[in-house]
Chains A and B, each alone.
Chain A
Amino acid sequence: MIMADTPTTSAPAPEAKKSTEELVKTFLALKTHAEKCAFFAKNKELAQIFRSELFTAEPTK
């Protein structure tokens, strides 16, 4: 699906760690917003990838 051409020797160092990739995959697979908020709160590194204000649970009144 993504355009590419013949392989070359230039290989930039990936900045995203594999563990972060796994976290992102798990996070995106969650079905409900509440689940996402809870997972986001437990895994602080996700805040470097996704916006905190969207996944911060509303404070209980």
Chain B
Amino acid sequence: MPTTPISETQIGAVAYLYGITNDGTNIAITGLATFELDSDEISYTWSEKENKDATGNTRNLVQTNFKSDRTITFTPAGADRAAAAAIADAAIALQNLVVTHYKVAAFNGTYRIKPGTKVSLKMDDNASITINAEKYANSTQNTNLTGTPISG
């Protein structure tokens, strides 16, 4: 139920990346019909092992598990209050964050949701939902870790 987007105007010698922008189609997250994005951050990270020589100085670095760590915060929204509440329930139940149509392509793709999805209800403000997720740089690794849980 997205409304017509209103784009900002920029005047000057350079343009800045402003706001959370899409690629011309509204941003979508599978399982969440409607929402209003508040913030979205990606931190590219990896594991690192320092191998030291006899003097205790690092002479080699082994880097593994390259991935993007993500924190997304949004407000559940809907055509009516019941629909908005349903978005909050659906957010808690999500296994993966399947995201499309960000202009910054790194934000698109299938992210594994990490522990700690938070739904915040407030007496005098809109609810907000924060989800922590990660996407591995190696596509095979990411596919394996975002697949259907093993049964049996």
Judge: A and B partners, yes or no.
yes
Q: Is the interface of A mostly helix, strand, loop or mixed?
A: loop
Beta-carbon contacts under 8 Å, A1-46 to B: 1-8, 10-12, 14-16, 20-21, 24-25, 28, 44-45
Q: Is the interface of B mostly helix, strand, loop or mixed?
A: loop
Contact of A16 among B20, B26, B98, B149 (CB under 8 A): B98
Stretch at the interface among B56-64, B99-107, B121-129: B99-107
Instruction: State whether B95 touches A49 (Cβ < 8 A).
Output: yes
Which of the four size classes fits the interface of chain A? 20 to 34
A20 to B72, CA, bound (A): 23
Instruction: State whether B101 touches A49 (Cβ < 8 A).
Output: no
A→B interface (CB under 8 Å): 1-8, 10-12, 14-16, 20-21, 24-25, 28, 44-45, 47-52, 54-55
Contacts of B30 in A (CB 8 A): 16, 20-21, 24, 49
Contact of B34 among A1, A25, A52 (CB under 8 A): A1
Instruction: State whether A15 touches B19 (Cβ < 8 A).
Output: no
Contact of B95 among A2, A28, A47 (CB under 8 A): A47
B→A interface (CB under 8 Å): 1-3, 5, 7-8, 18-28, 30-31, 33-37, 77, 86, 90, 92-96, 98, 100-103, 105, 108-110, 146-149
Known: A2-B2, A21-B30, A49-B94. A11 touches B24 (CB 8 A): yes
Instruction: State whether B148 touches A45 (Cβ < 8 A).
Output: yes
A2 to B1, CA, bound (A): 9
A48 to B24, CA, bound (A): 27
Min CB gap A51→B, angstroms: 5
11 A–B contacts, CB within 8 A, in A order: A1-B1, A1-B2, A3-B21, A5-B8, A5-B18, A12-B23, A12-B102, A14-B101, A15-B109, A16-B30, A54-B93
Min CB gap A19→B, angstroms: 12
Contact of A28 among B1, B23, B90, B100 (CB under 8 A): B90
Min CB gap A27→B, angstroms: 9
